Structure formats: C-alpha cells, structure tokens
Structure 1
Amino acid sequence: PVGQIGELVAARYDDETALTRFLKDVDVVTYEFESIPLAAVEFVAARVPVYPPVEALAVAQDRLLEKQLFQKLGIPVPPFAAINSRDDLSKAEREVGFPCVLKTRRFGYDGKGQVVLRGAADVDGAWATLGGVPLILEKFVTFEREVSAIGARDQSGNEVHYPVSENHHHEGILRRTVAPAPKLPAALAVLAMEYNRRILKELHYVGVLALELFQAGGALLANEMAPRVHNSGHWTIEGSETSQFQNHLRAITGLPLGPTAMKGEVVMLNVIGMTPPLAECLSVQGAHLHLYGKAPTERRKVGHVTLVADSLEALGEREKAIASLLQTNGTPPLSHP
C-alpha cells in the first residue's frame, strides 16, 4: 500500500544497486515483517538508521535465539531443545516429553513450519516433514488464553504500553482479538507489560514490539515476539488514542510517543479468505472495516473489522452481528465476550 503514495523500488533483497537507489532519498528505514534476509538489513543499517534495530530482527528470526533471550531476561518459557539431527530429536523427546511441538527455527508463521507430536509414533513423520533445517522442540502448552503485550519505545528510551489483549486462533491463524483481555488478572496484565519492557530495554529497541504469551494457571509463558506492528494490535486504530502504527512512526522518526488510553471495549475480527458484504458490515453500530486490497484466497487475511463499544454486553451483540457476516467454510462461529 505504501507504494501508492511514495516511490516503489521492487527488486531482490540481495540487489545492492536497487538497495542503494532505495536509500538515496530516505532518512530512516523500518520493516513490516520478519522474513527479510538479515544481510540486506545489515547493508541498509550501515548507511541509514534502521528501526527496530538489526539485533531485534536477528532474534525474532530464530526461535532458538528468541527463547534464549527470554530465559536471559527471566521471562518464563516452555521447556525446549535445539534440534540439528535425528539423534538430537530422540534425546529431546525424552527430555521435553510428549505432547510437544517440533518447529523450524526460522520462517514460520500462522501455524506453518511446525508439527505437533502427541507420542512416539509421530516422531518419524514429523522428522520427515521438517528435518533438514535447524529445528527446535518445545513442550506443548495447555493454556487458558493467549495474550499480546504491545509496547513502543522511542529513541530516547521513553515507553508506552497498550492494554494487554486476548487472542483467539483457528488452524494457526489469528481470528479475533479482544482488548482489554477479559478476566485476565490485573497482576498478570502488569507482568505481561513488564516482560515486554525487559525486551525493549535489552535490545535498545526503537519502534513497536509485540510479545505473545500463554496464560497457564497463575503464570505467563512467552511464546514469541514480533519486532513490528502486529495483527493483534490492529484494534488500536479505532480503539486507542494513538494507534500502534502512529506510535511506531513517531518512535522511528524521533517524535514524542502518543497516549495509549482505550476508547472503550474493543474486539477485532480478521477477514479471512472472503470478500465481506460491505454494506451489511458497515450497518453494524461501531464497526470499522479495513480491506487490504488483496484478492481473497483460502486462509489469506484480506482485512479486519474493529468494533468499539461502551460495555462488553454491547460489544458482544455487535460482534455476533459481524461474525455472522464473516463465516467461511471450516471456520467455527466466533465467540463473543
């Protein structure tokens, strides 16, 4: 979309001539997803400031480095082990225990690049599917809810944090985010923001950072971090005084961060693999429809709807109306608060 308002340079990431042409008129560079060759980002960072910093991207690209960072900062994680061979997997399955999840260390998103192992009978199949690249084995976590802690840090080290939100997935894809997270104990919400704060400080971070965590009983376990604006924070466009997008841009350009107070109870529903009925969606009170200009294909996020209301009761009624318009084959009805 940004190509519609600025000069667009389309080339391979390793095309240094194109990168140099791209850099001739820019003062600062940011990125919107993690699947970028690190060498290209390092090339850019040697010439202009890149935010979030290269170190944050390097960690987020590798699930093992990510888990090790969390451990270093005292952020709890499920048991895990690095897997580089079939023998490593045999040893780790005994140490980590079943059920567990075998994941590629790099380039996994929306449930891709991972296989759940329920028992020993699943190991050979999982290895056949994923073996050949660096892997990580993690204990499967039975959790009560997944939450996102989203914060922003500017170039002077000032921070703002958004209320912790609750996420609901289906088939590995985020379907729904509610903010603030209903029934999340206040102490855990504070703890989630503290964990985010530790990462921001450790990485000398600039920009928006999303941290996904599992609530398991009275504890929070870190799942993964995203060094960018995040799908689970899209609700902030209408639901917060300053959106995650605006605070990200403020942070990387040296402007003051904006307040993150909420404007009400908020739910965001992703539009996946379909063209939503525009008039019907917009007829629901408090509904804000965002379409990304993408052709609908199976499992593809093509937009989202955000609802804002003064109470959970009102929000629930409006969500039921929107959810009925967004159903696709294989997608269960979305719950409401």
Structure 2
Amino acid sequence: MPTTVTVGSNYNGKVAGGLFLKAWKEADTLKNNLVTIYPNVNSKLSLRKSETTNGRREYTCGHTPAGSITLAEKSIIPTKFKDDWDLCKETFRATWTADEMGASAANDVFPKEILDGIIASKLANEASYTDDNIWQGVDATNGYDGFLTQFAADVNIVTVDGEAIDKTNVIAELEKAVAAIPPAIRRRTLNVMVSPDVAQAYNFYLIDKGTVNGLGGNANTELVFGKHRLVEVGGLPEATIVIAETGNLGFVTGALEDHNSIQVVDEDAIGLLTGKVRGTMVYNVGVIYVYAPEIVWYRIPEA
C-alpha cells in the first residue's frame, strides 16, 4: 500500500517560510539515561547475574561449606522494524514556488525545506512511539513486550497499589512508593520515574505551598522529592511511578544511530524516472531488566 499523502494547500502568492510540525511527546527514557543502552545487538543478548546467601558460622577448625551461590542469565532477541514511505513530487506542486524548484514541469527538484520537515516529523513520531513501547509495549500488538508488561508477569517485582493522583494526595502517594524501596538499595543512585500527571500534580502542590523548586522564576527546574530526583517520563501511563537503578533496566538495539536516521533517495536522480522520493527507516529494539526485587512499580491495580 503506498504512503497516504494529503496536501491541504491552494498556494497563491508569497510563502511565509518555515514548516510547522505536529508536536510529539518527548522520548524521555533514552534522553535522560534512565536505562542502560546495549548497542550492536542484532541477534541475542544474554545478561548474566549472580546471587549469594551467607555461609557465615562461628569459627571452628576445618572447612564447612554453607550458603549458596546462584548463577543465572536473562536473554533477549531484539525485534526488527522497518518504516517505508514514498512521495510523488507532483502531489506537492501546489506548495512550491519557482524560487524553490524552478519552473520545470519535470519536478526535477523537491523542496529541501519540505523534505527536511517530513524527515524530522517521521523521526519524532518514531521516537515517541519507541518511548511509549519501551514501557507499555505488548508483543501481540507492538512486536515486543515493554517493561510494564514484563513487570505484570513477574511476581518478584515490588508492586505498590496506587490510585489516581492530584495535588491533594501526591505527597502521600510518592511517600508510599519511596517507602517500598528495598533497604539494600536505598543508598544507591535511583531514578524515580513518574508519569506526566504525577509530575504535574507535584508541581501544583509546590505552587500551592509557595515552594520554589524550579518554579516561580527559579532557574533550577529539576523536581526533587527528599533526596530523590523525580524524572518525568512521557511513555508511562497515568498514575505510574517506577523506581530503579539505570543499570537494572536495559534497552537493546543494533546501531543506536539507526533511531535517528532515514535513508532518502530521489528516484529521478538514480535513473528510475518515477517522479517519486522514497525513504526508509530500519532499526531493532527490545527491553530487559535484571533484578526484579530491586524494582518498585507503583500503579493502579487492575479491577
């Protein structure tokens, strides 16, 4: 099926310049280094882990082994995706001016500004989609399971029953999530990742209290709750908080630059003479975590 292209234009006169693009959600997870990125993986990645229990005893002569050492590994095979599109240059004729492409009926030039805008929009769309599915992906629909789908199937994840959050209860609910952090990791550097509604509720609470926390003109815009930095993640569903170390969450891909690259060719320029510009984007992706008991997941339980 060819790419659906809709051009709502009836050009007449001067072009204002610039191209307005649809806004997409920020791809917060990778941008803010909330996961460990494992690049150059095109087949299978195995993460090895070990767990030990204590064999300590009161001293006596001799050798009496006790305790346990458990070696294990988790594996993932990333899923490969492709996004193809093509554009008939004639379709965009109504948006062109002679200054952009000349007067030739052959459409031998495609306006660079329009092409750059389309590429930027495609990349932003893909980044937003990837960020959503890092967390909420479901294999049957999206090609791989995101973290939350995997968490739901793992009884060892530290789950906290939550509720809808606003400025009246955000402190109590954040306290509930933070209190569930296992003692063994409380002194480590943890990411407290919150959905946009939780971040907004916390901002509203601070404004109500007259607290300057990156608000009211203060240049510091980082949200802090106690000793923890709160990071807003657009890919998380409402009323969701995930607390984990960066090293415990993994994003697996091939070449990382694949997520920022679209290959484009003008088919007239390579002798096909179709009057089309064709583009493609290819990348692979998957997510994996290592230690479930060291991940806190605050969510509204399913009814």
TM-score with structure 1 length normalisation?
Answer: 0.23
Q: Which has the larger radius of gyration?
A: 2
TM-score with structure 2 length normalisation?
Answer: 0.25
Question: Which one scores higher on RCO, CA 8 angstroms, separation ≥ 6?
Answer: 2
